[in-house]
Amino acid sequence: MKAFVVDKYGKKGKLRLAEVPEPDLQDNDVLVEIHAAGVNLLDCKVRDGEFKLILPYRPPFILGHDVAGIIVRVGSKVRKFKPGDEVYARPRDGRVGTFALSIAMNEADVVLKPKNLSMEEAASIPLVGLTAWQVLVEKAHLKKGQKVFIQAGSGGVGTFAIQLAKHLGATVATTASAASTNLVNSLGADIVVDYKKDDFEKVLQGYDVVLNSQDAKTLEKSLHVLKPGGKLISISGPPDPEFASEKSLNEVLKLVVRLLSHGIRRKAKRAGVGYSFLFMRAQGDQLGKITSLIESGVRRPVVDRVFPFERTNEALAYVEAGRAKGKVVIKVR
């Protein structure tokens, strides 16, 4: 089958369109004919080698973390699905590879596609939806009446997280350019800070939760908008000791992680707030709850552009340039 593979780690390296063997089907797997694949900044970072200490993929490997398609075969122990089912998923770490014609995934990572979405719309959801869910519901325990600051509201995670936070009853602030203000307002943002004109830390105060997705400077500024006891949760790093334990990293890597996050953890403690890092994980049960929100109209996908399969490298470059409003998707079939 055809697939886009990483031949070697390298900054902004091109993926190679290659002929690769069909994936092996394990007993608990479903084999999915891919119709669409979402593109994420995570794909660019994995290709560049930024996560090779914690995600040791050995080149050549197929890239891609979001998928929507049709099941064509199931393993001997699969009970939830059958051939012909339309599904979507974020395959688990170690088994990614959605920039291809097909993929085998553990059935625990897979759910039926929302009935009211196209394949392209469905493929835009899993990674950003699970990220937002795991930050706001699982880690922050966001409650009605609380205040949350979600950075980069017009981005992939931002467009989903704003809608989820509003559904949970929170007051939502975000950053966006003037050109994106109408979009984030339509998603439910109550306060929009134009990052080109204003410093958010001078405008926002007394927040319960911050979802940080930006650089180290922005991370540190985020401490100033939280009230005592607030939670700063970062999806862009640095990783913290709890993450190292969850990933069962060796003692050397645990020490490296502790040192990487020492500065921000110290400053957070001094400010009386909590700091934690989230590296989202595949979770079919949570994705099923997200499906319910989508089918009931609580959440809608935001798709910026759809690229044909043969232009996968262009799609990655577009995402990396930071111009996308919402998600970028590859139409495979």
SS3 307: strand
pLDDT (0 to 100) of residue 224: 97
Q: Class of the 2-124+301-331 domain?
A: alpha beta
Contact 257, 239 (CB under 8 A): yes
Number of continuous H segments (helices) and E segments (strands) in the chain:
11, 16
Domain boundaries defined on the chain: 2-124+301-331, 127-277
Q: Tell me: the pLDDT tens digits for 220-243?
A: 999 999 999 999 999 998 999 999
Name the average pLDDT for the chain: 97
| CA distances in angstroms from 69 to 66, 121, 134, 196, 255, listed in the order given | 10, 11, 24, 39, 41
- Name the β-bridge partners of 233: 211, 276
- 3-class SS of residue 324: coil
Task: Please provide the DSSP assignment of 108-133 as one string.
Answer: GGEEEPPTTS-HHHHHTSHHHHHHHH
What percent of the chain clears pLDDT 90, i.e. is strictly above it?
96
pLDDT for the residue 174: 98
**pLDDT single digits (tens) 2-46:** 999 999 999 989 999 999 999 999 999 999 999 999 999 999 999
pLDDT score recorded for residue 26: 98
Provide the CATH number for the domain formed by 127-277 in this structure. Answer: 3.40.50.720
Token duo for residue 126: 């899993």
Residue range 327-332: mean pLDDT, rounded: 98
pLDDT digits 0-9 by tens, 115-173 = 999 999 999 999 999 999 999 999 999 999 999 999 999 999 999 999 999 999 999 99
pLDDT band at 206 (very low <50, low <70, confident <90, very high): very high
Residue 23 contacts residue 59 (beta carbons within 8 Å): no
